[in-house]
Amino acid sequence: MVTPYGILNRMRRGRTLTRDEVWSVVAGAADGSWTDVQLGAFLMAAAMRGLDPDETRELTLAMLESGDRWALAAEFGPLVDKHSTGGVGDTVSLIVLPVLAACGVSAAKLTGRSLGHSGGTADKLESIPGVRLDLDRAGALDLLDRFGMAIGIATGGIAPADRRLYGLRDRTSTVSSIPLVVGSILSKKLALGASGIVFDVKTGNGGFFPDVEDTRSLASSLVSISAACGTPADCVLSDMNQPLGRWVGHAAEVREALDFLAGDGDPRLFEVVAAVCRKASRLVGAATAQKDIEAVIATGAARQKLIDWADAQGAEPGWTDALDLAPVEAVVTAAGSGFLEAVDCRRIGNAFADACRPDRNPNRIDHAVALRYDVRLGQKVERGQELARVYVRRDPERLRSEVAAAIVIGERIKAPPAVAE
Query: Pick the catalytic residue: 82, 117, 137, 188?
Result: 188
Tell me the C-alpha distance between 355 and 248, whole Å. Answer: 11
Q: 123 and 362 in contact (C-beta within 8 Å)?
A: no
Binding segment for ligand URA (CB under 6 A), chosen from 180-188, 273-281, 315-323, 413-421, is 180-188
Q: How far is the CB of 184 from ligand URA (least distance, A)?
A: 3
Q: 254 and 370 in contact (C-beta within 8 Å)?
A: no
Q: Are strands 196-203 and 80-84 parallel, antiparallel or unpaired?
A: parallel
Nearer to ligand URA among residue 110 and residue 297 (C-beta): 110
Q: Is 414 a catalytic residue?
A: no
Contacts of 316 (CB under 8 A, 6+ apart): 129, 130, 322
Query: Pick the catalytic residue: 57, 82, 83, 305?
Result: 83
- Residue 365 near ligand URA by CB under 6 A: no
Q: 356 and 369 in contact (C-beta within 8 Å)?
A: yes
Nearer to ligand URA among residue 31 and residue 170 (C-beta): 170
Count of residues binding ligand URA (CB under 6 A)? 3
Query: Pick the catalytic residue: 81, 90, 123, 162?
Result: 162
Binding segment for ligand URA (CB under 6 A), chosen from 102-110, 177-185, 254-262, 272-280, is 177-185
Choose which of 61, 97, 151, 181 interacts with ligand URA (CB under 6 A): 181
Q: How far is the CB of 150 from Ca ion (least distance, A)?
A: 19
Q: How far is the CB of 188 from ligand URA (least distance, A)?
A: 6
Tell me the C-alpha distance between 377 and 293, whole Å. Answer: 26
- Residue 297 near ligand URA by CB under 6 A: no
Tell me the C-alpha distance between 114 and 120, whole Å. Answer: 4
Q: How far is the CB of 129 from Ca ion (least distance, A)?
A: 6
SS3 310: helix
Which x/- pattern, by CB under 6 A, does the window 131-170 give for ligand URA? ----------------------------------------
Q: Is 268 a catalytic residue?
A: no
Interface residues with Ca ion (CB under 5 A) are: 126
Nearer to ligand URA among residue 156 and residue 410 (C-beta): 156
Binding segment for ligand URA (CB under 6 A), chosen from 15-23, 61-69, 178-186, 223-231, is 178-186
Residue 126's binding partner among Ca ion, ligand URA, none (Cβ under 5 to 8 angstroms by kind) is Ca ion
Q: Is 184 a catalytic residue?
A: yes
SS3 270: helix
Residues 154, 160, 163, 169, CA torsion sign? negative
SS (H, E, C) 114-130: CECCECCHHHHHCCCCC
Q: Are strands 370-373 and 386-392 parallel, antiparallel or unpaired?
A: antiparallel
Q: How far is the CB of 176 from ligand URA (least distance, A)?
A: 9
Residue 181's binding partner among ligand URA, Ca ion, none (Cβ under 5 to 8 angstroms by kind) is ligand URA
Residue 141's closest CA among 69, 230, 73, 65?
73
Tell me the CA distances in angstroms from 156 to 72, 138, 289, 322, 408, one per residue in order: 16, 12, 37, 31, 46
Residue 26's closest CA among 162, 228, 157?
162
Query: Pick the catalytic residue: 57, 109, 164, 169?
Result: 169
Q: Is 380 a catalytic residue?
A: no
Residue 185's binding partner among ligand URA, Ca ion, none (Cβ under 5 to 8 angstroms by kind) is ligand URA
Choose which of 185, 237, 283, 302 interacts with ligand URA (CB under 6 A): 185
DSSP 327: S
Amino acid in the structure at residue 358: P
Q: Is 169 a catalytic residue?
A: yes
The side-by-side arrangement of strands in the sheet containing 407-410 is 380-381, 338-343, 407-410
Q: How far is the CB of 360 from Ca ion (least distance, A)?
A: 20
- Residue 184 near ligand URA by CB under 6 A: yes
Nearer to Ca ion among residue 348 and residue 369 (C-beta): 369
Contacts of 336 (CB under 8 A, 6+ apart): 383, 409
Q: Which residues bind ligand URA (CB under 6 A)?
A: 181, 184-185
The residues carrying an active-site annotation are: 83, 162, 169, 184, 188
